[in-house]
Structure 1
Amino acid sequence: MSWKWEFAFGAEEAARTAPADFLARVEEKADELVRAAEAVHIHGQAHEGIDPKGGDVIVPGGMFAYQVVVRSERVYVVQITCLGF
């Protein structure tokens, strides 16, 4: 398995109606989070213990919340908030 990111829960539904330029910024930052998680957790599937605390990332036009699940080698975008009307 290799590290990836994906939308989870209602974020996937919200992404369907968000502007393309906003989503591109979210995807760019999510890719950065994946690279960072992969560097920190080299042996992700063998991880024991609790997952790191997620967080919020501000991008132009809004923000998103994420959670890292190390054993699954995933960064989940769990909520997006687009401020563009």
Structure 2
Amino acid sequence: MSWKWEYAFGAQEAARTAPTGFLAEVERTSDELVRAAEALHIHGQTHDSADPKGGDVIVPGGMFTYQVVVRSERIYVVQITYLGF
């Protein structure tokens, strides 16, 4: 398995109506989070501690909230908020 990111919960539904420019920024930043998590957690599937805390990321147009699940080697985008700035 290799690290990936995906929308989770209601974020996937919200992504259907968000502007494409905003979604492109969310996706670009999520790709960066994947690269960072992959470098930090080299042996992700054998991880036996608590998952690290996720966070909020501000991107042009709004923000999103993510969670890291190391054993699944996933970054989940759990909420996106388009503010139009």
TM range (shorter): over 0.9
Q: After the TM superposition, which parts of structure 1 deviate over 2 Å for at least 4 consecutive aligned residues? A: none
Q: Per the alignment, in what secondary structure is the counterpart of residue 34 of structure 1?
A: helix
Give how far 1:84 is off: 2.0
Give the corresponding residue for 1:79. 79
1:1-85 equivalences under 5 Å are 1-84=1-84
Q: TM-score, normalised by structure 2?
A: 0.98
Amino acid in structure 1 at the alignment position of 2:28: E
Q: So what's the TM-score if we normalise by structure 1?
A: 0.98
User: Alignment RMSD, CA only?
Assistant: 1.0
Unaligned residue ranges in structure 2 (runs of 5+): none
Residue identity in the other structure for 1:25:
E
% of aligned pairs identical? 81
Q: Which amino acid is 1:48 matched to? A: D
Q: Secondary structure of 1:72's partner?
A: coil
Count of matched residue pairs? 85
Structure 1: gaps spanning 5 or more residues: none
